[in-house]
Amino acid sequence: MRIPMVPLNASGKVDRTALPPPATAEPPVSSNAGPGCEPRFEETVAGIWEEALELEHVSVDDDFFEIGGHSLKAVRVLSRIEHRLGKT
């Protein structure tokens, strides 16, 4: 949610008490939600990591460099992510 103007107090700082409550995040989309549902971003990235690092499974808690990644593979992964998400 966007607010039209950030409320300021008398000293020109953000008046946090005048801010609206934060919007609640929508629940994550399940990967088995049915046809037409897009996979979650994390699932897409994990799949790309698995391909690039030739691993069976990676989790959101894995560190790319600790599981075999290096700078050249990071560049390849970024390129694949951009391609798969239609950014190139």
**4, 18 contact by CB (below 8 A):** no
A 10 A CB-CB count for 58 gives: 20
User: d(Cα 87, Cα 82) in Å, to the nearest integer?
Assistant: 5
> What pLDDT is attached to residue 77?
93
> What pLDDT is attached to residue 28?
54
Residue 85 in domain: yes
pTM given for the model: 0.53
Tens digits of per-residue pLDDT, 26-46?
555 555 555 555 667 888 889
A 10 A CB-CB count for 15 gives: 13
Residue 48 in domain: yes
State percent of the chain over pLDDT 70: 80
Average pLDDT, the chain: 83
Average pLDDT of span 64-68: 94
Residue 48: domain span: 38-88
Contacts of 82 (CB under 8 A, 6+ apart): 88
> What pLDDT is attached to residue 73?
94
Residue 60 in domain: yes
Q: In total, how many domains does the chain have?
A: 1
The CATH number for 87's domain is 1.10.1200.10
Tell me: pLDDT of 50 over 60. Answer: yes
Tell me: pLDDT of 23 over 80. Answer: no
Q: Which of 17, 1, 29, 69 is nearest to 9 (CA)?
A: 17
Residue 21 in domain: no
Residue 11 in domain: no
Residue 61 in domain: yes
Residue 4 in domain: no
